[in-house]
């Protein structure tokens, strides 16, 4: 059964999801939810879906990047993005560790923000520890586009959307992206959209950071100014 994907503005997308308890993981309800999410993701289509996107505030996400989703990219574009097919898998109660700086930027979209994209700086390499649908521990080390997908979906479980991390100047409709920016080399996109600095070498809009990280940095700056 396909489930309606909720759009930005719904409180569930801005609330930290709760972990699944051990007795919930193997339950018939969770198995059905995973199957419904898989059907919904394939119908969209998309490469990842988190439970909050269908109104369920649970630490549960699915990922699948099929070969056919990459058909409109050239070999050069696939190589630059380090994008390869990723088989379907489930992430329950995931923990993520960035293994590189969040300095690799590409356009991203989101099923909960249909019709728009923006350039988002992400870590090129990550490590994820989670449970699968059987409650068994799994460990993933991902690079390139797979790492980007994992960061995007796990952000959803924390109430964070890509628009919180994107370079705000790059935000545009999918139509305008396809018409104006899709064929541009990355170097030109960086020149057009990279955030201006505030004179100290830092990005003026703290790009690539979630609201929580921005608040932490603001609080630190205030402390420094009064100490």
CA distance linking residue 66 with residue 63, whole number of Å: 10
Record the tokens describing residue 11, joined without a space: 């409180």
At a CB cut-off of 8 Å and minimum separation 6, what does 140 contact?
A: 126, 127, 128, 129, 130, 150
Structure tokens at 89: 């898998």
Find how far residue 139's CA is from the centre of its chain. Answer: 18
In the β-sheet with 172-173, what is the strand arrangement from edge to edge?
Answer: 104-109, 116-122, 172-173
Choosing from 23, 108, 153, 212, the catalytic residue is 153
**Known catalytic residue at 153:** yes
**What burial class does residue 70 get, using C-beta atoms within 10 Å of its C-beta: 0-12 exposed, 13-18 middle, 19+ buried?**
middle
Q: Select from 39, 28, 23, 38 the least CA-distant residue to 90.
A: 38
Positions annotated as catalytic residues are 153
């Amino acid at each position: 059964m396909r489930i309606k994907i909720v759009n930005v503005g719904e409180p569930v997308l801005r609330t930290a999801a709760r972990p699944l308890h051990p007795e919930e993981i193997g339950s018939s309800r969770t198995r059905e939810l995973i199957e419904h999410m898989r059907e919904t993701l394939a119908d969209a289509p998309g490469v990842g879906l988190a439970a909050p996107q269908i109104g369920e505030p649970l630490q549960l996400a699915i990922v699948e990047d099929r070969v056919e989703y990459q058909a409109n990219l050239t070999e050069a574009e696939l190589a630059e993005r380090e994008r390869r097919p990723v088989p379907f898998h489930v992430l329950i109660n995931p923990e993520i560790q960035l293994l590189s700086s969040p300095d690799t930027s590409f356009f991203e979209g989101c099923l909960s923000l249909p019709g728009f994209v923006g350039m988002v700086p992400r870590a090129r390499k990550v490590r994820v520890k989670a449970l699968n649908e059987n409650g068994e521990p799994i460990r993933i080390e991902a690079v390139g586009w797979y790492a980007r997908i994992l960061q995007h979906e796990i952000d959803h479980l924390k109430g964070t959307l890509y628009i919180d991390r994107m370079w705000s100047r790059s935000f545009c409709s999918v139509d305008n992206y396809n018409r104006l920016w899709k064929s541009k080399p990355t170097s030109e996109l960086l020149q057009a959209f990279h955030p201006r600095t505030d004179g100290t070498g830092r990005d003026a809009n703290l790009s690539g950071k979630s609201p929580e990280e921005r608040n932490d940095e603001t609080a630190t700056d205030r402390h420094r100014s009064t100490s």
